């Protein structure tokens, strides 16, 4: 194994001695296989792919440039879209005074153990400890109350890109459950429920697009059950993804209609167009760096990350393949020229011209990092004025003429993007089981399926499902009732209670 890069093959659990062993065995590769030990595979892939570095505080991770580029692509898309909706960016403080945090007791109560506090400056205790925001309702809404006076102040539509801290105690996982994470949180206030309802769905559609068009991850849009919704709100919508390897659903992003609950608590009132005092209707919505973890889990394989071209920091890696007597300089020059052409055409391309690594090592390295397309240039290619293209997703090799390279590469990247989505959707759909009885439900759950079941929509019944499925793998819960409802014949009964079913709902274990 050449060079220091191999150090990345260590995972948090490895001791120094064990680390050496792993290196020798696997070279650049992963020691765990996705289908054999999914948890270990995941932590290796985010570290060896250079997305994450473990940190000395549990549940906190370093997001390396390979991660941040992906985040920035999604951010650029989403930020531009919400600006079209006339939503403005702002920034509220990280710190929350205890009075403000507790202003809205009911909503905070269940979450209180997760709130992190600053209690000291230097050696002296603070007079009043200060909380770190776990979400910003209580930080922002007092100012909504101040800023909103009349109907002309509405709608008020703000968003912020920031970090939040939730001191989780259950198994931390990079991106998926971390104690600090990045997100955007949107908080909007309207004069009417109609406007609020419409925005909830507009934002949810943007979340679907982030997942499906950018991350190539299929999601289900739907409504959360009463038990699973944000307790402070009126109703919660979400996009739900599924991880076939763990058999778990995962909430991808949420868009809530808060109704007038927060308006009551924070006295967010206005004089309506008839001169009467009214309360605002509010929404809040967020997606976080969890999106990136879902993408890694869905697309990665035993060779490492597999990045969708639309979000990849690097879409094309160009690798020289020098040969003994061949003109190495001419090959290197062609590589550099190819990169210039591709970058000028708007692609994100780089050449790996390092002379202390072999081409084979470089192939493995960039496969581990998930670069969608590799171009190899050797003496034969030079002669024929062509390059050899190798796709990361299916390893298909094609010789492409240098003349007209841009068009061909664009086609291939589009095809990779589409094919990642199609493959993920086929895999996800193959996990869906329709369960009409408790027996069918329990069997499907045992097989780690995503279960679509007719449900009576009663809270007590969902609690009962949780109780009956409790175990070391975690209980099953409702994920969402899809907006896209299959036909429900009139006499259909609830899978869990036997009462008349009201709707189809997705169930499963979840993250
Ligand atoms: C729920 C609700 C909501 C704005 C969103 O989902 C979108 C963006 N917020 C967040 N939630 C909490 O309210 C919460 C509160 C405290 Cl104090 C906490 F420690 C953790 C929390 N987690 C989630």
Point out the ligand 1 atom lying closest to the alpha carbon of residue 186.
Answer: 8
> Which residues, in sequence order, are CB contacts of 424 under 8 Å at separation 6+?
216, 217, 218, 298, 299
Which one of 59, 99, 111, 257 would you pick to mutate in the ligand 1 pocket, going by the greatest count of ligand atoms within 8 A of its CB? Answer: 111
Pick the CATH number of 65-298 from 3.40.630.30, 3.20.20.70, 3.30.930.10, 3.30.70.260: 3.30.930.10
Taking only the tens place, the pLDDT of each residue in 36-89 is 999 999 999 999 999 999 999 999 999 999 999 999 999 999 999 999 999 999
Q: Could you tell me the residue ranges of all domains in the chain? A: 2-62, 65-298, 316-428, 432-510
Return the residue whose CA atom lies nearest to atom 18 of ligand 1: 111
CB 230 less than 6 A from any atom of ligand 1: yes
Q: Is 231 strand, coil or helix?
A: coil
Q: Which residues pair with 172 in a beta bridge?
A: none
∠ CA 200-203-205 to the nearest 5 degrees? Answer: 110
What is d(CA 399, CA 404) in angstroms, rounded to the nearest whole number?
Answer: 12
> What is the phi/psi pair of residue 207, to 5°?
-65, -40
Per the CB < 8 A criterion, the answer to whether 321 and 397 are in contact is: no
Give 312 Cα–ligand 1 centroid separation in angstroms.
30
SS3 sequence of 116-142: CEEEEECCEEEEEEEEECCCCHHHHHH
What is d(CA 393, CA 370) in angstroms, rounded to the nearest whole number?
Answer: 9
pLDDT at 27: 62
For residue 286, give Cα distances in angstroms to 183, 186, 262, 274, 359: 7, 6, 17, 34, 43
pLDDT at 104: 77
pLDDT at 24: 40
Point out the ligand 1 atom lying closest to the alpha carbon of residue 101.
Answer: 17
For residue 53, give Cα distances in angstroms to 64, 275, 385, 408: 7, 57, 41, 36
Q: Which tokens sit at 67?
A: 């991660």
CB 188 less than 6 A from any atom of ligand 1: no
Neighbours of 21 (CB within 10 A): 12
- C-alpha closest to that of 374 among 318, 303, 304: 318
Q: Which tokens sit at 122?
A: 């230097």
Length of the chain: 511
With 0-12 / 13-18 / 19 or more C-beta atoms within 10 angstroms meaning exposed / middle / buried, residue 376 is: buried
What is d(CA 266, CA 137) in angstroms, rounded to the nearest whole number?
Answer: 10
CA dihedral over 188, 189, 194, 195, signed as positive or negative? negative
With 0-12 / 13-18 / 19 or more C-beta atoms within 10 angstroms meaning exposed / middle / buried, residue 172 is: middle
DSSP classification of residue 5: G
| pLDDT lower than 70: segments of the chain | 1-27
Give 166 Cα–ligand 1 centroid separation in angstroms.
9
pLDDT at 20: 44
Say which CATH topology domain 432-510 has. Translation Initiation Factor IF3 (3.30.110)
Q: What is the CATH number of domain 316-428?
A: 3.40.50.800
Cα R_g (the chain), whole angstroms:
26
């Amino acid at each position: 194994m050449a060079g220091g890069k191999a150090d990345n093959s260590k995972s948090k659990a490895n001791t120094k001695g064990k680390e050496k062993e792993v290196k020798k065995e696997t070279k650049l590769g992963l020691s765990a296989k996705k289908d054999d030990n999914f948890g270990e595979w995941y932590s290796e892939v985010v570290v060896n792919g250079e997305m994450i570095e473990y940190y000395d505080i549990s549940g906190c991770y370093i997001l390396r440039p390979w991660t941040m580029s992906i985040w920035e692509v999604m951010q650029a898309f989403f930020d531009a879209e919400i600006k079209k909706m006339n939503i403005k960016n702002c920034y509220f403080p990280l710190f929350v005074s205890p009075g403000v945090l507790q202003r809205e007791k009911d909503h905070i109560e269940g979450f209180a153990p997760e709130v992190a506090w600053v209690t000291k400056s230097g050696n002296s205790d603070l007079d009043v400890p200060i909380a770190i925001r776990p979400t910003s309702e209580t930080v922002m809404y007092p100012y909504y109350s101040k800023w909103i006076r009349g109907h002309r102040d509405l709608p008020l539509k703000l968003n912020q890109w920031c970090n939040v801290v939730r001191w989780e105690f259950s198994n931390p996982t990079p991106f998926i459950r971390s104690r600090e994470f990045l997100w955007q949180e949107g908080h909007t206030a309207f004069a009417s429920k109609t406007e609020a309802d419409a925005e909830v769905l507009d934002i949810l559609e943007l979340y679907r697009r982030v997942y499906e068009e950018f991350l190539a991850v299929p999601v289900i849009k739907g409504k959360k059950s009463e038990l699973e919704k944000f307790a402070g709100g009126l109703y919660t919508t979400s996009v739900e993804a599924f991880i076939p390897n763990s058999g778990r659903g995962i909430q991808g992003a949420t868009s809530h209609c808060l109704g007038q609950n927060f308006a009551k608590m924070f006295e967010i009132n206005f004089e309506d167009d008839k001169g009467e005092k009214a309360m605002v209707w509010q929404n809040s919505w967020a997606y976080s760096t969890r999106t990136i973890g879902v993408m890694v889990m869905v697309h990665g394989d035993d060779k490492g990350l597999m990045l969708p071209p639309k979000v990849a920091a690097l879409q094309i890696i160009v690798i020289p393949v020098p040969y003994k007597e061949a003109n190495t300089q001419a090959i290197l020059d062609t590589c550099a020229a190819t990169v210039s052409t591709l970058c000028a055409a708007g692609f994100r391309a780089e050449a790996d011209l390092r002379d202390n690594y072999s081409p084979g090592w470089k192939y493995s390295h960039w496969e581990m990092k998930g670069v969608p397309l590799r171009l190899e240039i050797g003496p034969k290619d030079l002669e024929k004025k062509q390059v050899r293209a190798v796709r990361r997703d299916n390893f298909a090799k094609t010789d492409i003429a240098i003349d007209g390279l841009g068009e061909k590469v664009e086609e291939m990247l589009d095809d990779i993007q589409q094919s990642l989505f199609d493959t993920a959707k086929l895999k996800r759909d193959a996990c869906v089981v329709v369960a009409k009885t408790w027996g069918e439900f329990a069997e499907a759950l045992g097989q780690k399926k995503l279960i679509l079941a007719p449900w009576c929509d009663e809270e007590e019944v969902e609690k009962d499902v949780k109780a009956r499925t409790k175990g070391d793998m975690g209980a099953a819960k409702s994920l969402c009732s899809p907006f896209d409802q299959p036909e429900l014949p009139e006499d259909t009964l609830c899978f869990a209670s036997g009462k008349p079913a009201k709707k189809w709902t997705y169930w499963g274990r979840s993250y």
